[in-house]
Structure 1
């Protein structure tokens, strides 16, 4: 605040209601450092140019400048548990065979035959292989990427098999995820994330979870509009009026970490500042424990002097422990209840909480800049007794289907996702129809969008990075 004028400086304003950290500090089971911290930076108030959402040419340049340089979540380690297991990851025009070549070694090969370019494995497939053989002319590669055979090698004296290994992307693992980067000169994943975000991710121990539900759906909007729809809780009062009364929506916390990671924390089990004085503690608890989609079977009452938030934390801890056969006694109340959303640039959201244990992934449609693929994966804790749990197969919805149609999707949450994505068709058409050439963002509540677009600008200012197959071969 300016001492002389008494006016707030840009980015200083916050909702006058109780803060996210004050809410969390009142919990009985105290939060760890990664929860009880803040990291906001004012990044300006200028409009965001809408050309980035409406130009097909802009998206094509993203494929050469942005996607070829950034770390992306390709699959989970549980997708490829055994040597020879593989998973195909596509991003725009690029495709990769992510395969386990040793107990502790994973590689990602550009998914194309070095003869005449045929894909070695179809998009969206996974399985086990002893070789990767082209269906067209039979050229094949060992799972370590070395050339195994060429049909009629006598006709290719100019193609030395030792120089025809499959080109590779960089691969690293973290939190049970397999991450790839097409740029051989890119920084390590650790440097890309930065020390603060890296410490957070390691603290979550997401490697101890498994995919319990995986849903994909094409969305009629540019991939950046799609991802940005989930970067703030400012939309909750009007887009999700049924849940707004029971979370701190417009008083959520927003943080940025380096160039590539940001987050929000939205506390649950409290009355939204937009509904102050309208609901009692019992009303808040009832909204979570009454109704067909409730996960609570009885109808508890809030005793005098108690809070709905604390009762929910206690109940949810017990229910989730029983449902997952796991021990959550070390988890704070905030980790049990609250919505934590971390964006890892460019296209991954990690939600490490227990009540909303999710991953979002967003991918552009290379044939249509007005369409993108949205994926939701629920990660549940593995059973404490080590018993086997099945990795869920993806459920592929059509653009017309509701998220509620997906097997394994909670209908209440599916309805929330429908509300989110129903806005996107109107937003895509709106930014194209608007006489105003930019988006106006809030300094605080929409800082994640500005932080994200600042990273987009950083990569789009670079020269195109075209994958060079010779430079990408293992020496």
Structure 2
């Protein structure tokens, strides 16, 4: 605040209710440092040009400038646990065979034969192999990417097999995820994330979780619109009114870290400030735990001497310990209950909490800038006893299906995802019909969107980069 004038500086305004940190500070089991930290900065208030969502030429340039230079989550290590296991990751026109070549070494080969370009493995596949053979003419590569054989080598005296190694993207491992980057000059993953965000991710120990449910669906909206639909809780009171009695939407905390990571902390078990005074503590608890369309269905619990938030944290701790066969006694109430949403630019969301342990991944449709491929993966702690469970196979839904149609999906949460994504078609069409040239963002509640689009601007200002332009014979 400007002391001389008494006016609030841009970006300083907050909901006049308890902050997320005020709510978390009252919890019985205290939150760790990464929860209690704050990292907001005002990034301006000018409109963001909407052409980035509506121009097919802009989308084509993204594939040349942005997707070729950024770190992307390609698969989990659990997808390729053994030597010879592989997983095909596609991003726009690019495709990679991510494979374990040694116990502690993973590589990502460009998924194209060096003869006439045929894909070595079909999109969306995974499996195990000792080599990669082209299905067209049989040229074959060893697991380490070196040339194994050329059909009719007498006809290719101009090709040196020693120089016929499969081109690779860079690979780094973090939190049980396999990350790839096509640009050999890009910063390391650690530098890309920044010291503070990297420390948060390491603290979560996501390598000790496995993929319990994996659902994929496409939407008629640009990939950036789809990413941004999940970057704020500002929409909750209108889009998800059924959860507002137990979701402190306007209390949500927003943070940015460096150029590529941002987050929000949305407290649960507390009524929305929009509905202040309309619900008792028992009403809040009932809304979240009893009845149709809730996140959890059980016998009617009571608040007793607790707040609804504390009663929920205690109850959820017991439920999650039982379902995951794990000890959560040292885990804070906030981690048990609240929604933590981290975006790692450009297309990965990590939700490290216990109540919503998820990963989102967003990929543009290379054939239509108005469409996006959205995946949600639910993560569970690896059981203390017994073997590590196999990762769930992806369930692909049609445009007409609800997320609730996915086997294993909580109906209440599936409905929430449907509400989120139902807005996207109308937003895409509205932007294309609008006489206004940009979108207007709130200084605080929509800071993640502005931060995200600043990163888009950074990469779109770079020169186009073609990662596989080198002649492999030389």
The 5 A counterparts of 1:195-206 are 195-206=195-206
Structure 2 distance, partners of 1:103, 1:270, is 47
Contact 1:120-1:133 within 8 A present in 2 as well: yes
Distance 1:407 1:193, change over 3 A: same
Partner of 1:449: 449
Structure 1 distance, partners of 2:469, 2:172, is 20
Structure 1 distance, partners of 2:129, 2:332, is 43
1:244 aligns with 2:236: no
1:408-446 CA-to-partner distances (Å, cap 9, x unmatched) read 110000000000000000000000000001000000000
Question: Displacement, 1:294?
Answer: 5.2
Contact 2:78-2:390 within 8 A present in 1 as well: no
Structure 2 distance, partners of 1:144, 1:294, is 46
Partner of 2:172: 172
Q: Secondary structure at the match of 2:408?
A: coil
Partner of 1:111: 111
Q: Secondary structure at the match of 1:70?
A: coil
Partner of 1:413: 413
The 5 A counterparts of 1:65-464 are 65-292=65-292, 293=294, 295-304=296-305, 306-464=306-464
Q: Secondary structure at the match of 2:361?
A: strand
Unaligned runs of 5+ residues in structure 2 are none
Structure 2 distance, partners of 1:2, 1:372, is 44
How many matched pairs? 473
1:167-190 CA-to-partner distances (Å, cap 9, x unmatched) read 000000000000000001111100
TM-score, with structure 1 as normaliser: 0.98
Q: Secondary structure at the match of 2:33?
A: coil
TM-score, with structure 2 as normaliser: 0.98
Structure 2 distance, partners of 1:129, 1:59, is 35
1:187-235 CA-to-partner distances (Å, cap 9, x unmatched) read 1100000000000000000000000000000000000000000000000
Structure 1 distance, partners of 2:393, 2:148, is 31
Contact 1:169-1:472 within 8 A present in 2 as well: no
Contact 2:164-2:472 within 8 A present in 1 as well: no
Q: Secondary structure at the match of 1:353?
A: coil
1:9-31 CA-to-partner distances (Å, cap 9, x unmatched) read 00000001000001000000000
My pick for the range that moved more, 23-32 or 460-469, is 460-469
Q: Secondary structure at the match of 2:165?
A: coil
Unaligned runs of 5+ residues in structure 1 are none
Question: Displacement, 1:52?
Answer: 0.2
Question: Displacement, 1:384?
Answer: 1.1
